Amino acid sequence: MYIGFDIGGTSIKYGVLNEQGEIIEKAMISTNHEKESLLQDLANITKKYQQQYPDIKGIGVSAPGIIQKDGFMTTAGAIRPLYETNLKEEIEQRTGLPTAVENDANAAAIAEKWLGAAQGIDNYLCMVLGTGVGGGIVINGEVYRGAHGMAGEFGYMMINELPTAGNIEHSSLNLRGAVVGGLSRLYNAARKKEHPETEETLGAKEIFQRAEDGEPLAGQILARYYEELASGLLSLLSAFDPEVILIGGGISANEVFMTGLQEKTLELAKRHGSISFLLGKTIGEIKQAKLKNDAGMIGAVYLVKQLVD
């Protein structure tokens, strides 16, 4: 048995998995953005599971940011207190269990190769949509990490016109194509502008429902969201020539979203002179990741399983 953690900017998903990667049980807590409290949460959950399952062999952790092979987190996405922390060492000191720590999108890519939609595929990308936009790159069957562990930070890509001054990251995929940092942020900012008195902050599910109910603002924001995310996907398709790009994260379970994204990507591809000629020949597909919200946890457990074995 193994414990898996998928640490996100908003919540931490965790559970117990067996040797085959099957989830025996799982739960979720809110992410504590104070370092010691977060680490203590992980230790407490581990202790609880060790009492229930005495044969726990190790811990697999999926987390956002630029993570080195030794578990050192150069960055940690929205979880600022974990920047420049060796999360592997911190967890092992508190639990005494072998621990593997991997970038969330890399972990998702590994999981899809092991048990998901990338079985039998050697060249593919995983894009994970959540608080930000993460990416996993698999080339010739191996995760590509880059020279500094930074490869796959798809969210850093610039996808539209740069502002004339200030932080150009506002034009990045993280702040345009992510679910929290992009869709929800853009919708709530536009809604606040129309109705300054509003205090309610709406998530993706409510925005999709409002669009379905015919609200003009929700429809406009979603149309823009699809276009900017599809623009990023076209860049990745042409830069890496993958067999497929798998879309993960909680929003990927929404069939309306997946259909809208696939249709918009195809529409833009047909409008691109060079790419349009390659459709049906060399341009990869955009597909739903099979393991969805569990992918990060499963991939991280696969890595610690390899470590223990």
- pLDDT surpassing 80 at residue 69: yes
For residue 163, name the pLDDT band (cuts at 50, 70, 90).
Answer: confident
Q: What is the pLDDT of residues 10-63, one digit of tens each?
A: 899 999 999 999 999 999 999 999 999 999 999 999 999 999 999 999 999 999
- pLDDT surpassing 80 at residue 199: no
Nearest residue to 104 (alpha-carbon basis) of 62, 162, 159: 62
Per-residue model confidence (pLDDT) at position 196: 86
For residue 170, name the pLDDT band (cuts at 50, 70, 90).
Answer: confident
- For 91, the token pair is 């967890």
Nearest residue to 79 (alpha-carbon basis) of 31, 127, 129: 31
- pLDDT surpassing 80 at residue 84: yes
Per-residue model confidence (pLDDT) at position 292: 83
Q: What does the mean pLDDT of the chain come to?
A: 93
CA angle 179, 71, 172 (to 5 degrees): 30
Nearest residue to 141 (alpha-carbon basis) of 105, 166, 109, 182: 109
Q: Which residue has the tokens 């996993």?
A: 136
Mean pLDDT of 114-130: 94
Per-residue model confidence (pLDDT) at position 148: 86
Residues 292 and 269: their CA atoms lie apart, in Å, by: 26
Per-residue model confidence (pLDDT) at position 76: 92
- In the chain, what percentage of residues exceed pLDDT 70? 100
Strands 142-143 and 99-103: unpaired
| Sign of the alpha-carbon dihedral angle for 99, 133, 242, 255 | positive
For residue 159, name the pLDDT band (cuts at 50, 70, 90).
Answer: confident
All domains of the chain, ordered by start, with CATH?
A: 2-109+293-308 (3.30.420.40), 121-289 (3.30.420.40)
Mean pLDDT of 119-129: 95
Q: How large is the angle between the packed helices 255-271 and 204-212, nearest 10 degrees?
A: 80
SS3 125: strand
Q: Which residue has the tokens 């129309």?
A: 194
Q: What is the pLDDT of residues 227-285, one digit of tens each?
A: 999 999 999 999 999 999 999 988 998 999 999 999 999 999 999 999 999 898 889 99
Per-residue model confidence (pLDDT) at position 2: 98
Per-residue model confidence (pLDDT) at position 230: 95
H helices of 116-247, in order, are 185-194, 204-212, 216-240
Per-residue model confidence (pLDDT) at position 242: 96
Per-residue model confidence (pLDDT) at position 130: 86
- For 151, the token pair is 């490869």
- pLDDT surpassing 90 at residue 74: yes
Nearest residue to 291 (alpha-carbon basis) of 103, 95, 117, 35: 117
- For 146, the token pair is 């880059």
Per-residue model confidence (pLDDT) at position 33: 95
Per-residue model confidence (pLDDT) at position 232: 95
Query: What pTM was estimated for this model as a whole?
Result: 0.87
